[in-house]
Chains A and B, each alone.
Chain A
Amino acid sequence: MSKSVVSESLPKAIVPVDPKGSKKLKQFKKSIPLFILLFPSLILLICFAYIPMYGIVLAFKDYSPALGIWGSPWVGFKHFIQYFNSYQFGITLKNTLNISLYSILVGFPLPIALAILCNQMRLMLFRKFFQVTIYLPHFISTMVMCGMILIFLSPSNGLVANFLKLFDIHMPNILSNPSMFSSVYVWSDVWQHVGWDSIIYLAALSTIDPTYYEAATMDGASRLQKIIHIELPLLLPTTMILLILRAGGILSVGFEKVLLLQNPLNLAGSEIISTYVYKVGLQSFQYSLSTAIGLFNTVVNLAVLLLVNWISKKLTNISLF
């Protein structure tokens, strides 16, 4: 122990280097154990997050495996132009925006409503049971979820078809209808995640100061009035933050589920940007084109995130950064 003190204090005394630099060096030396703790995650992030980010240059090159990433020739915006001019551009963008906006419109307010509903329950045992139940579907894997959707919506002998048969209603083949795809996607998502997504709002509701409610009761406010005038305004900050984050994913629709529910008949309504990136890249091996489309996706997402963040900052003074 004493040895290190001596060796650290010695150079300071002898060499009058600028004090700021040596202070930094000292702080760095003290941080070395912390860097040991950071080391595994730093290495993995560099290898599997930052190097691939560098791989984005592929979008501006004509990749050929023989020449490698470095050797392939630069082609500028060729692949972007190819995508923008292609017949798939309109379809994928429209479908992605359609599914994304639909799910924000439906999937965003419902968890808030659910949290408020849950917060109104006074029978604690029932409330516990209710919460365990509505969180449950969140843990079903996407694969099983899609399997269930296919089984239940089967037009010949699915559960829904059999139920409708009781009322002599003929079941249409929903999954082969492109215009129904977004509804299947969004409402099955609501079924699966609405409970889980409400947790964060419930947490925010539980922090509300009870004196607000007491004061409102004194003033003769009804329960509905308390919800509108106390709970909703106090949920606003949480809501805005989550909305900004959600907006930042406007072009990244739950890709796995779409891929699994796709079939040749509903493709006109279910081909989204990310599934197209997958098919172009890893099924038909057009690496550069696929990277270009993926980059377009990322850039739009970031732009929307920053835009919504900026608007929110102006309007409500709530922002991420």
Chain B
Amino acid sequence: MIFKKKSRKSRLHKKGWKDWLFDIAIYGIAILMIVLILYPLWFIIIASFSNPSDVAKGNVWFWPKDWSLDGYVELFKQEVIWRGYLNTILYTVVGTLIALAVNIPAGYALSRKDLFGRKWLAVFYIIPMFVSGGLVPTYLVVKYFGLLDTFWVMVVPFSVSCYNIIVARTFFNTSIPADLWEAAQMDGCGTLRYFFTIVLPLSKAILAVIGLWTAVGIWNSWFNALIYITDEKLQPLQLILRRILITNESLLGAATGDLAAELRRLSDMMKYAAIVVSTAPIMCLYPFLQKYFNQGVMIGAIKE
């Protein structure tokens, strides 16, 4: 570490004009990108706190104008939002736990060299990554199992992720020394006990990676709910957002005359508020958890 710092310093001293130009170009592009990414996000936030007619006229650029919380107030008055939020939290928590319980043990079993029929099983787990039955056959199977319009359809049938299993397998292969199993065996420890009492405590990193990936995926997913759930009581937040943002349905009801203009104003504000409310949890947590998200990509990149 000390060496690196020194060499960086000496390089700074030797910088020629070409190097300066190069650096200016690099940091210039980087700053431009940061602005291009952060500004739209910032705009959504300030627009959600501003008077919507100012937003529409283009008077809001860098700071909220005519501070108002009306959008949030109206949004939270809607019962569907609360129910959607609650449903999404339940789906995320239960779905993530189920996914971990299904995928992590599978990853471990596949990492063991002495697994009977290991090669064939690996193929069995890889095929679904490239081939799928398609929309209609899958729908019919889910229907056949009587899972339509149930809580469980959102958390059980598609909890297996072959990709995550392979990532977990790679992790176990590279991070848990094989000697450990030999030693445990000598002491008369069986496979299951070894897995639960020795391997799992050593695997917090992979639990975090796969857990976070799954959680974000479930939080953001909506298509399964669109197909498999018609009961409004079971709809996740993203489907409620669809009504607000995409199909432009007014949750506030219909009205005429002056009231209609007011309703339009409010539903415009609600759009910005809805984006903030649904995305804020992930956006706020992410910078602190970034390490784990990245780690997952790296483990996935190792080819056995």
User: Are the C-beta atoms of A141 and B279 separated by less than 8 Å?
Assistant: yes
Chain B residue with the shortest CB-CB distance to A128: B290
Which of the segments A6-14, A51-59, A88-96 contacts the partner chain?
A: A51-59
**Residues of A contacting B26 in the complex (Cβ-Cβ under 8 angstroms):** 117, 120-121
User: Are the C-beta atoms of B131 and A53 separated by less than 8 Å?
Assistant: yes
User: Are the C-beta atoms of A136 and B37 separated by less than 8 Å?
Assistant: yes
Tell whether B205 is near chain A: CB-to-CB under 8 Å. no
Distance in Å from the Cβ of B99 to the closest Cβ of chain A? 10
User: Are the C-beta atoms of B290 and A132 separated by less than 8 Å?
Assistant: yes
With A122-B8, A148-B40, A305-B130 already in contact, the answer to whether A200 and B58 are too (CB < 8 A) is no
Q: Is the interface of A mostly helix, strand, loop or mixed?
A: helix
Q: Is the interface of B mostly helix, strand, loop or mixed?
A: helix
User: Are the C-beta atoms of A49 and B133 separated by less than 8 Å?
Assistant: yes
Chain B residue with the shortest CB-CB distance to A320: B303
User: Are the C-beta atoms of A135 and B290 separated by less than 8 Å?
Assistant: yes
Per-residue CB proximity of A199-237 to B under 8 Å, as 1/0? 110011000000000000000001110000000000000
Which of the segments B72-80, B190-198, B253-261 contacts the partner chain?
A: B190-198
**Residues of B contacting A152 in the complex (Cβ-Cβ under 8 angstroms):** 40
User: Are the C-beta atoms of A281 and B101 separated by less than 8 Å?
Assistant: no
Tell whether A150 is near chain B: CB-to-CB under 8 Å. yes
Distance in Å from the Cβ of B68 to the closest Cβ of chain A? 17
Tell whether B121 is near chain A: CB-to-CB under 8 Å. yes
Chain B residue with the shortest CB-CB distance to A114: B33
A48 CA / B101 CA spacing, docked (Å): 17
Tally B residues with Cβ within 8 Å of A: 97
Chain B residue with the shortest CB-CB distance to A122: B8
Tell whether B203 is near chain A: CB-to-CB under 8 Å. no
**Residues of A contacting B287 in the complex (Cβ-Cβ under 8 angstroms):** 132
Within 8 Å by CB of A47, from B23, B131, B145, lies: B145
Tell whether B160 is near chain A: CB-to-CB under 8 Å. yes
Name, among B124, B191, B245, B290, the residue most crowded by chain A CB atoms within 10 Å (CB to CB).
B245
Residues of chain B in range 218-251 having any CB-CB distance to chain A below 8 Å: 219-223, 227, 238, 241-242, 244-246
**Residues of B contacting A224 in the complex (Cβ-Cβ under 8 angstroms):** 22
Tell whether B44 is near chain A: CB-to-CB under 8 Å. yes
**Residues of A contacting B145 in the complex (Cβ-Cβ under 8 angstroms):** 47
Tell whether A101 is near chain B: CB-to-CB under 8 Å. no
Tell whether A40 is near chain B: CB-to-CB under 8 Å. yes
Chain B residue with the shortest CB-CB distance to A31: B116
Tell whether B207 is near chain A: CB-to-CB under 8 Å. no
A1 CA / B221 CA spacing, docked (Å): 49
User: Are the C-beta atoms of B190 and A290 separated by less than 8 Å?
Assistant: no
User: Are the C-beta atoms of A135 and B159 separated by less than 8 Å?
Assistant: no
Distance in Å from the Cβ of B109 to the closest Cβ of chain A? 4
User: Are the C-beta atoms of A47 and B157 separated by less than 8 Å?
Assistant: yes
Tell whether A298 is near chain B: CB-to-CB under 8 Å. yes
User: Are the C-beta atoms of B245 and A144 separated by less than 8 Å?
Assistant: yes
User: Are the C-beta atoms of A277 and B135 separated by less than 8 Å?
Assistant: yes
Residues of chain B in range 39-64 having any CB-CB distance to chain A below 8 Å: 40-41, 43-44, 55-58
**Residues of A contacting B58 in the complex (Cβ-Cβ under 8 angstroms):** 157, 161-163, 165-166
**Residues of B contacting A157 in the complex (Cβ-Cβ under 8 angstroms):** 55-58
User: Are the C-beta atoms of B34 and A53 separated by less than 8 Å?
Assistant: no
Distance in Å from the Cβ of A117 to the closest Cβ of chain B? 6
With A117-B29, A157-B57 already in contact, the answer to whether A147 and B106 are too (CB < 8 A) is no
Within 8 Å by CB of A55, from B138, B242, B283, lies: B138
Tell whether B214 is near chain A: CB-to-CB under 8 Å. no
Chain A residue with the shortest CB-CB distance to B275: A144
Residues of chain A in range 280-303 having any CB-CB distance to chain B below 8 Å: 281-282, 287, 290-291, 294-295, 297-298, 301-302
Distance in Å from the Cβ of A293 to the closest Cβ of chain B? 9
Within 8 Å by CB of B241, from A37, A47, A131, A147, lies: A147
A318 CA / B217 CA spacing, docked (Å): 31
**Residues of A contacting B274 in the complex (Cβ-Cβ under 8 angstroms):** 147
Beyond the given A144-B278, A144-B279, could you list 16 further A-B residue pairs with CB under 8 A, ordered by the A residue number? A34-B115, A38-B105, A40-B101, A44-B156, A52-B140, A53-B132, A55-B136, A122-B8, A141-B219, A143-B245, A147-B244, A162-B58, A195-B37, A256-B223, A282-B139, A302-B131
- 4 shortest interchain CB distances as A-B pairs: A55-B137, A52-B133, A162-B58, A147-B245
- Pull 18 A–B residue pairs with CB atoms less than 8 Å apart, ordered by A: A30-B114, A34-B112, A45-B124, A45-B125, A47-B145, A55-B137, A55-B141, A118-B30, A134-B34, A140-B220, A141-B219, A141-B222, A141-B279, A147-B241, A159-B43, A162-B58, A200-B301, A223-B19
Residues of chain A at the chain B interface (Cβ within 8 Å)? 1, 24, 27-28, 30-31, 33-38, 40-42, 44-45, 47-56, 58, 69, 117-118, 120-123, 126, 129-137, 139-144, 146-148, 150-152, 156-157, 159, 161-163, 165-166, 191, 195-196, 199-200, 203-204, 222-224, 238, 241, 248, 255-256, 260, 277-278, 281-282, 287, 290-291, 294-295, 297-298, 301-302, 305
